[in-house]
Amino acid sequence: MGEEPARRSARLRRAACWLLGVAVLVGAHVAADGTAFAQVLYVLVVAGAAALAWAGIRTGPARPARLLIAVGLTASAVGDVVWEVLVRSGADVDVSVADVAYLGAYVALAAALTRMAGSRGQTARGRFDGWIDAVIVFVAVLAVMWDITVAETLADTSQPLGVRLVWALYPALDAALIALVFRVMSGSRRRDPAALVVAAGAACWLASDLAYMFAPDPEVVPSLLSTGWMLGAGLLAVAARPWAHRDAAATGVREQAGRARLAVCLGALLVPGALDLVHDLTGREQTPLSLFGATSVLVLLVFLRTARLLRAEAEARELVRAQARRNAALAAHSSDAVLVIDRSGRLLGDPTPLATLLGVELSADPAEGELVRGAGLDPQAARAVFAEAVAAGGAVVSAELPRRWRGQELWVGVRLVDLSADPDVGGVVIHATDITERKRAEQSLAHQAFHDGLTGLANRALFAERVEQALRHNARHGDTAAVVYIDLDGFKAVNDSLGHQAGDLLLQQVARRLATTVRAGDTLARLGGDEFAVLLEQVDDVAEVTAAGDRMLAELRRPVRIGRQSVTVSGSVGIAVSDADATGDSLVRDADIAMYAAKTSGRGRVAVFDPAMRAAVVERRALEAELQGALAGDELRLVYHPVVDLADGRVVGFEALLRWHSPVLGPIPPDRFIPVAEDLDLIGEIGAWVLREACSAAAGWRSRYPGAGLTMAVNVSAVQLASPDLVRQIAGALASSGLPAGALVLEVTETALVRDPEGAAEQLAALRALGVRLALDDFGTGYSSLSYLRQFTVDVLKIDRSFIATIDGAELPPIVRGLVELGRTLDLEIVAEGVEDERQRDLLRDARCEFAQGYLFAAPLSATDAELLLLGRTVPAPSGEGTPA
């Protein structure tokens, strides 16, 4: 690509050198006028032009046209040579073989011009109209030639007919060349050098021909005539070179006639009249027949041309109307409305598309401001966007405008561009689109990004942002904010027993209840799982926040109805109040720490953050980390607390108690790590292990001491009782150990039953179907013991050690005696926990309490020590591990 401009420049230089050489030879020819040297120069130039035309004819574009030009130049050169030979020989040269060559040169040049006029880039209509214009020019010029010379030449009977015909052909061919030059120039490709050069060369030939025809004595000015023919030959030789031609597809074609072509066509009608006027002024004899014929032909051609122009105009108008109808149809079914408003705010055009788009009614010619008000737009916002578009100077301005219509919030998107300077528009073009659905989708996505999908409350991201905003506001105004952090207790048990759908319903009801306890300006959020938080933006003191936390707990304690189930959950609430150094993260973190403190201190409580709580949280995190690997690390073990028959002191069974000795944290009591195991979802795995170990130990003792009839009691937490895997785990432990189902006693607390009474009843029924026995542990410390004794079928009633500790006199306290009598009335086995001295034992035995546990008989024992006890041997004294749990 880089070589093409250089090659073209070199070719241009060669062409310029050739034309310059021709000009020099022409000057020499004029200087040597009348000499043999002048004739030789003439022949050399014409022959050289023909040779140059033939050079490179095989390559390049427009080869047929260039070939015809080369043929024409060759024929002209041959005619000159023949003519010179005939002149030098003294022969008659009026009409000779040279004329055949000359006429052939004209015909070849005419054919070349015809070939160049038929450009491939033109349409059929354009080519046909171009030829009509050329014929009009030909007829007009031929009429002039006829009047001046052809008619007289043909009428001269002194010359033979053949001579007269040959002489008449020259002006006729000149008229044809003039018409063809006009055709080439009027329909040539833009910046096509070939058309210009051919036209210039033909014009030089025509000028010399016309001068030869009209000169009084051509022999007087032969050098001037030869000059035109020589220059024409040189130019035509250049036009025959490949560089002068270009591809039509690359340059484009002029299709329309233009004013100049139209003026030439209409001006041709003046030629007959002009000739008639000349005849009148000069007194020459008129030739009315020829003038009438020329006039008739020209009128017919101009009429044809005009008819085609009118037809083309009609087709163009119909095309415009069809395009308008198409645009109207597209606009009628388009989701956009296009309107034009002048700078004063007046609508230019039909407001129907906008009214249809927006679903409103607008008058046919809305006044200034009516369009905005009728569309439900905010006038101030609309004026601001319009002013911005006017000031933008033709740049596109986009905006999204809200509008109110019949109580709904809708949106319209607009794109404005000021085309006031465009005479076809004359105003500001507005493209309007209803974007309500998109805006609603965006709002929905934004809501989803900052709100919990299940409860509709604010999520963690939005809550954190609101906390930061509150702290910034408080820093400016000196107010105090607080965060209340709520974590549900027992939520996992609901998920495990009733399924996740029930859990979702519970969370939704909890969200609604918490919403009733907060103020209008406060933010309630679900942070994830069963964790909620409340931002109280302006509080007076801690007591106000604590009261809010108590209200939340009171709402949580009320039973929740989920389908046919009644579920009760509690919560642990942590409170953090902002200070001057508080940040959003620190305030939420401190409330979370306070919530953990509330949970570890017994759940269902409210705790206010204290810096000392951070140590407890660090300890809790360490406990969680160590507990994760306790079972796999063989750090857990079971101890066995014997159950004694008060009548004879015989050991009738054991209660399996779980112990953990962490290699990092040391011994951890069950009341500390069991709740953590429940929170970490480890209690199911640990509970299954306890069942397997306890059943295996009991089965071994029963096989070695068959007469003892030993039982094994295992504690079941509330989380385990709610688990659907509990029955399967117990059945598996019994099957693998071989322990009879009646020898296994499952101990449940009233707290475990109160969380989901109906679910607990179904679970206990399934356990009884296995044949295991059930014990109600810590009896008397729950919510409504008598109602649960009626609702649930149990086999054993265990009196809590807190009641046994009240026995310090000679008689049983009424509460203890009442509990014993109640158990006997219900035909239940009664086990007293925490018997520490003989007086307690004797009073219980006298009251007909059958069984007891306590340090009076033995502390919780390892498996080895428990077997020593069964053998009647002495066992180690209590190890100080604490109260059995």
Reported as a single tens digit per residue, the pLDDT across 494-520 is: 777 778 888 889 899 999 999 999 888
Q: For residues 562 and 555, what is the distance between their CA atoms, to the nearest angstrom?
A: 16
Would you state the pLDDT for residue 231? Answer: 78
Residue 216 banded pLDDT, cuts 50, 70, 90: low
Give 405's strand partners. Answer: 408
Residue 226 banded pLDDT, cuts 50, 70, 90: confident
Q: For residues 726 and 720, what is the distance between their CA atoms, to the nearest angstrom?
A: 6
* E strand spans, 65-157: none
3-state SS string for 563-628? CCEEECCEEEEEEEECCCCCCHHHHHHHHHHHHHHHHHCCCCCEEECCCCHHHHHHHHHHHHHHHH
Residues 715-729 have a mean pLDDT of: 87
Q: For residues 258 and 171, what is the distance between their CA atoms, to the nearest angstrom?
A: 29
Q: For residues 559 and 288, what is the distance between their CA atoms, to the nearest angstrom?
A: 124
Q: For residues 238 and 240, what is the distance between their CA atoms, to the nearest angstrom?
A: 5
Would you state the pLDDT for residue 252? Answer: 43
Residues 647-663 have a mean pLDDT of: 93
**Which of 28-32, 225-229, 309-313, 483-487 has the highest mean predicted lDDT (pLDDT)?**
483-487
DSSP assignment of 413-425:
EEEEEEETT-TTT
Q: Which CATH number fits domain 628-870: 3.20.20.70, 3.20.20.450, 1.10.3720.10, 1.20.1270.10?
A: 3.20.20.450
Residue 3 banded pLDDT, cuts 50, 70, 90: very low
- Which one is predicted more confidently, 574 or 136? 574
Mean pLDDT check: name the lowest of 114-118, 421-425, 734-738.
114-118
Residues 646-670 have a mean pLDDT of: 92
Q: DSSP character for 393? A: T
Write out the H or E segment, with its range, that includes residue 80.
helix 63-89
| pLDDT for residue 264 is more than 80 | no
Mean pLDDT check: name the lowest of 110-124, 127-141, 168-182.
110-124
Q: Which of 850, 844, 776 is nearest to 811 (CA)?
A: 844
| pLDDT for residue 396 is more than 50 | yes
| pLDDT for residue 476 is more than 70 | yes
Q: For residues 444 and 446, what is the distance between their CA atoms, to the nearest angstrom?
A: 5
Would you state the pLDDT for residue 521? Answer: 85
Distances 86 to 90, 215, 278, 347 between C-alpha atoms, Å: 6, 23, 39, 85
Q: Which amino acid is at 420?
A: S
User: Torsion angle, CA of 3/9/13/14, rounded to 10 degrees?
Assistant: 40
Mean pLDDT check: name the lowest of 213-227, 328-342, 451-465, 619-633.
213-227
| pLDDT for residue 189 is more than 60 | no
- Which one is predicted more confidently, 782 or 844? 844
Mean pLDDT check: name the lowest of 167-181, 606-620, 738-752, 764-778.
167-181
Would you state the pLDDT for residue 14? Answer: 63
| pLDDT for residue 104 is more than 80 | yes
Residue 658 banded pLDDT, cuts 50, 70, 90: very high
- Which one is predicted more confidently, 212 or 821? 821
Would you state the pLDDT for residue 483? Answer: 94
Residues 701-725 have a mean pLDDT of: 87
Which class is 335-438 in CATH? alpha beta
Reported as a single tens digit per residue, the pLDDT across 28-45 is: 766 666 677 777 777 777
Q: Which of 619, 574, 630, 579 is nearest to 597 (CA)?
A: 574
Distances 102 to 197, 205, 730 between C-alpha atoms, Å: 21, 11, 126
Could you identify the residue written with the tokens 């939005």? 462
Q: Which two tokens stand for residue 20?
A: 């310059």
Determine the 3-state secondary structure of 725 from DSSP.
Answer: coil
Cα angle 334-337-343, degrees, rounded to a multiple of 5: 160
Q: For residues 178 and 459, what is the distance between their CA atoms, to the nearest angstrom?
A: 89
For 846-868, letters b (16+ CB in 10 Å) and e give ebebbbbbbbebbbbbbbebbbe
Would you state the pLDDT for residue 221? Answer: 46
Residues 431-445 have a mean pLDDT of: 79
Mean pLDDT check: name the lowest of 187-196, 591-600, 698-707, 717-726.
187-196
How many CB atoms within 10 Å of residue 350?
A: 14
- Which one is predicted more confidently, 845 or 100? 845
User: Torsion angle, CA of 75/80/83/87, rounded to 10 degrees?
Assistant: -170
**Pairing of the two strands 829-832 and 796-799:** parallel
| pLDDT for residue 451 is more than 90 | no
Which pTM value belongs to this model? 0.46
Of the chain, the percentage scoring pLDDT greater than 70 comes to 83
Residues 94-105 have a mean pLDDT of: 79
Mean pLDDT, the chain, whole residue set:
80
Residues 485-489 have a mean pLDDT of: 91
Q: For residues 509 and 148, what is the distance between their CA atoms, to the nearest angstrom?
A: 114
Would you state the pLDDT for residue 645? Answer: 93
Would you state the pLDDT for residue 482? Answer: 93
Would you state the pLDDT for residue 790? Answer: 64
CATH number of 451-611: 3.30.70.270
Determine the 3-state secondary structure of 484 from DSSP.
Answer: strand
Reported as a single tens digit per residue, the pLDDT across 545-603 is: 999 999 999 888 888 888 777 887 889 999 999 988 889 899 999 999 999 888 877 77
Please state the domain extents for the chain. 3-306, 335-438, 451-611, 628-870
Mean pLDDT check: name the lowest of 192-196, 375-379, 708-712.
192-196
Give the list of residues 6+ apart from residue 552 with CB closer than 8 angstroms, or none.
484, 486, 514, 517, 534, 571, 573
